Homo-oligomer: A and B are copies of this chain.
Amino acid sequence: MTYPNEKLSEEKVFKDPVHRYIHVRDRVIWELIGTAEFQRLRRIRQLGTTYLTFHGAEHSRFSHSLGVYEIVRRIIDDGFQGRPEWNEDERLLCLCAALLHDLGHGPFSHSFEKVFHLDHEEFTQAIIVGDTEVNQVLTKVGKDFPKKVAEVIAKTYENKLVVSLISSQIDADRMDYLQRDAYYTGVSYGHFDMERILRVMRPREDQAVIKHSGMHAVEDYIMSRYQMYWQVYFHPVTRSAEVILTKILHRAKELHHHYYEFKQEPTHFYSIFEEEISLKEYLKLDESVILFYFQAWEEEEDEILSDLCRRFMNRQLFKYIEFNPNSQMKMWMELTTLFKKAGINPDYYLVVDSSSDLPYDFYRPGEEEERLPIHLLMPNNEVRELSRQSEIVEAISGKKRTDHKLYFPQDLIDQLSSKRKVKDQIINLLKGDQS
């Protein structure tokens, strides 16, 4: 038996709270899980700072990655296998891409990417094709196999059916994270009948489609996603933690560029501050390393850095008010001036943060991010875009919702005792819009 088809002598199973068991029979998958790069995902939380809002959300990208793999495995082995539209030769490629799709995520990716202009998808591809243990395993399958896996993740692979399993509006990635994040946070959203969806998925030339009879399960899934975004992912307390995290990174970078002398030298950060980080250095960044520095920096002399780090470590977050960028710019500018008067640096302590989500969208060619719409397989074998069939989905389709909030440190304001007048002005401005 050649390596690509090599099976373990006995199936390995992982106990998983979401999918009960995760089944591994292919040697390639087993070896990929054992690589240093994949094990590193244990040290990166799936939901970044969300654990500061939902204390149960302490699960890692390691768990999620296994889950996505398992869903793709079930789609193929229980559903696609044997159907004429499905080419079994693509099976292993799908499984590897599913398992590795998040490999390039760093700690608290969202903030890191924003501040340091990184892109986790690029790192995912770099790990897969670079000098890594993952690459060694994949290369055993075939010389061009790592490249193929990278292409699937980059959505450039020619067989779009394969791509759609992990990158579409109803892919294994989303199906796992909605359920997993709901399980670990404990919220009741995020549940939908995945088993039914898997049963009605059918392979077509360029994507996986859903049999018409499963439409309601898909509606339910889309509503789950919508609720999870606004209830969990965009929770204002989580965003407050993200704001602080982002400002810590900004401050450290700025201090570095101004030759500030750190008590705890930011060794692991040098290259990232210079925006020329190597793959090897990147792989050393995990949440332990970040938290190690943040703890140490609580004792830096720079007051902004130490204060922000203390806030992050001890969850003393910013408060917030609703903010309307159209009508309240003047208020924001006034606050900026008042903050300066009060000796609170508004660059770090008065922050507008925005979230927006599009629950579902049909295909709009030329849009910044093209989204693969969901297609139903009708009884007459015709393929039909979901929002043309489902009233519920039609109703929310293409409706982007955006939410802005203004974050600030209530405690610092409360302590402005010697600047009574400034304090009152700030409080009045904030209260005027507080709902």
Residues of A within 8 A of B (CB): 13-18, 20-21, 34-36, 39, 42-43, 51, 54-56, 58-60, 62-63, 66, 183-189, 191-193, 195-196, 199, 216-217, 219-220, 223, 226-227, 230-231, 284, 286-292, 295, 310, 313-316, 378-380, 391-392, 395-396, 399, 401, 435
Would B314 and A36 count as touching, CB distance under 8 A? yes
A268 to chain B, nearest CB (A): 9
Among B66, B186, B193, B231, contact of A187 (Cβ-Cβ < 8 Å): B193
Residue contact B55 to A14, C-beta cutoff 8 Å: yes
CB proximity of A67 to chain B, nearest CB, Å:
10
Contact of A191 among B36, B188, B289 (CB under 8 A): B188
Complex CA distance for A259 and B322, rounded to whole angstroms: 58
Q: Are B199's CB and A188's CB within 8 A? A: no
Please name the 6 residue pairs, one residue from A and one from B, whose CB atoms are nearest each other, closest first: A395-B395, A17-B186, A288-B291, A292-B292, A188-B193, A288-B288
B15 touches A185 (CB 8 A): yes
Is there contact, CB below 8 Å, between B58 and A59? Answer: yes
Q: State the CA gap A184–B15 with chains docked (Å).
A: 10
Nearest-CB residue, chain B, relative to A294: B288
A184 to B216, CA, bound (A): 19
Number of copies of this protein chain within its complex: 4
- Pick the contact of A39 from B196, B286, B313, B391 — CB < 8 Å? B313
Report yes or no: B391 in contact with A17, Cβ–Cβ below 8 A: no
Contact B392 A396 (CB under 8 A): yes
Q: A42-B55, A55-B14, A292-B288 are in contact. Are A391 and B396 (CB under 8 A)?
A: yes
Residue from the set A39, A188, A219, A230 with the largest chain B CB neighbour count within 10 Å: A188
Q: Is the CB of B289 within 8 A of A295?
A: yes
- Assembled-state Cα–Cα distance A40/B185 (Å): 19
Instruction: Return the contact of A316 from the options B16, B34, B187, B226 (Cβ within 8 A).
Output: B34
Whether the Cβ atoms of B55 and A20 lie closer than 8 Å is no
